[in-house]
Amino acid sequence: MARWQPDAPGRLAAAALDLFEENGYENTTVSEIAQHAGLTKSTFFRYFPDKREVLFDRDTVTGLLVEGIASAPPAAGPLDAVADALDALGRTFFSADRREFSGRRQAVLDANTELREREALKRIDLTASMIEALEHRGVPGLTARVAAKLGTLVWEIAHDQWIDTGNSEDFGPLARRALADIRATEAMR
Amino acid sequence: MARWQPDAPGRLAAAALDLFEENGYENTTVSEIAQHAGLTKSTFFRYFPDKREVLFDRDTVTGLLVEGIASAPPAAGPLDAVADALDALGRTFFSADRREFSGRRQAVLDANTELREREALKRIDLTASMIEALEHRGVPGLTARVAAKLGTLVWEIAHDQWIDTGNSEDFGPLARRALADIRATEAMR
């Protein structure tokens, strides 16, 4: 099976995903993950504080989103800045060779309460980073909160569709369409 | 100190809050909570599966929100149905005699990662219940998701203001105003 597997944290995440799928999250140890990745336990702890973190690469995602919001054209409205950032994320992080990994990862997260909780908190922290990045553009606080909340919903919808194996569209265009669909709903009036 | 303290689960929550504040969440046991509440450990486990759940009373909150959305006038739009539900919650649950407890509770949650994670997941489950209740009214799926996300933001803003000791307004009016303010933001265009 072709597998997205570049650097050490990526190899550790891929190894963890294999083992969580095979033996369950609870029954997998950090030593086993490191061994399966052909790395040492101390290398693991250089990148992740514990087992629960190994499937989360939010520093990268947060950095890309914040950068994308910052570099949107000055005239772009708050939601358009968020859409630009999601586009950038689609080009650089949610690329086609990560799709299969992301789908398997999401299935493992969804099946485990501990991981769902960690994901829920990461989502809140990510939303907070987006709010901050929007405020840096001069967007007023409440507007930034609304745009970030809606941006998170765009993300969720586009990500669900992107990891769907029946779908082959890229993340960016899926996010653009989700945003347009959201803007057209009755709830936005 | 006057304390909101009615039934057994309420007494257990109040006792837990006292002890978490005094000794920290990590250093408090279920036995100590039960003893402080004048109840037995087995009574604790009749109401809560573990220590981490004792400050969450989401069945009640979820039930009241779902009921509020269901009983909104048939002509009410999705966001107005959510606003009606938050009004109902303000009248029956977030009443003035719960304000002090809620403020202390939030401070304890904010200070502990385990509790923040549990809260984040509860918020997701609550949003899912609101989406389902809106769909029951015939609201299309995406519109229901947008309305529930914005409803959660209304909740967060109103709750923050309500527990602010410098404030004496009721939860319902605070939620109404937060919704009106959100609707007026640029992000809603």
- The class of domain B1-50 in CATH terms is mainly alpha
What CA–CA distance (Å, rounded) separates A119 from A129?
Answer: 15
CATH numeric code, A56-188: 1.10.357.10
pLDDT band at A167 (very low <50, low <70, confident <90, very high): confident
Give the integer Cα–Cα distance in Å for A109 and A111: 5
Specify the amino acid at residue A106. Q
Q: Are B153 and A149 in contact (CB under 8 A)?
A: yes
Distance CA B159, CA B60 (A): 16
| Cβ contacts of B152 on chain A, cutoff 8 Å | 149
Q: What is the pLDDT of residues A109-140, one digit of tens each?
A: 999 999 999 999 999 999 999 999 999 999 99
Q: Which residues of B touch A (CB under 8 A)?
A: 77-79, 113, 116-118, 120-121, 123-124, 139-140, 142-147, 149-150, 152-153, 157, 181-182, 185-189
Average pLDDT over residues B12-28: 97
pTM, full prediction: 0.91
Sketch the domain layout of chain B as residue ranges.
1-50, 56-188
What one-letter code names the amino acid at B47? Y
Inter-chain residue contact A153 with B147, CB threshold 8 Å: no
Q: In this predicted model, what pLDDT tens digit does every residue of B91-140 receive, in sequence order?
A: 999 999 899 999 999 999 999 999 999 999 999 999 999 999 999 999 99
What count of residues does chain A have? Answer: 189
Name every residue whose Cβ is closer than 8 Å to that of residue A180 and which is 6 or more positions away in sequence: none
What does the pLDDT read at residue B6?
61
Cα distances (angstroms) measured from residue A2 to each of A5, A99, B186 = 9, 11, 45
Q: What is the signed CA dihedral for B135, A160, A181, A146, rounded to 10 degrees?
A: 80
Query: Over 50: is that where the pLDDT of B25 sits?
Result: yes
Q: How confident is residue A2, by pLDDT bands cut at 50, 70 and 90?
A: very low
Percent of chain A beyond pLDDT 90? 90
Indicate if the pLDDT at residue B2 is higher than 80. no
Residue A154 has pLDDT above 90, yes or no: yes
ipTM of the complex: 0.90
pLDDT exceeds 50 at position A94: yes
- Give mean pLDDT, residues B183-189: 94
Q: Cα separation of B134 and B143, whole Å? A: 9
**Residue type at B167 in one-letter notation:** N
**Contacts A189 to B, Cβ<8 Å:** 77
Residues of chain A in contact with residue B185, where contact means CB-CB under 8 angstroms, are 140, 142-143, 146
Looking at CA atoms only, how far is residue B146 from chain A in angstroms? 6
Tens of pLDDT, residue by residue over A22-39, are: 999 999 999 999 999 999
What average pLDDT does range B36-57 have in this prediction?
95
Q: Cα(B36)–Cα(B11) distance, rounded to whole angstroms?
A: 9
Q: Is the backbone of residue B104 left (phi > 0), alpha (psi -120 to 50) or beta?
A: alpha
Topology of domain A7-54 in CATH is Arc Repressor Mutant, subunit A (1.10.10)
Residue B78 with chain A: CB contacts under 8 Å: 186-187
Task: Please report, rounded to a whole number, the percentage of residues in chain B having pLDDT higher than 70.
Answer: 96
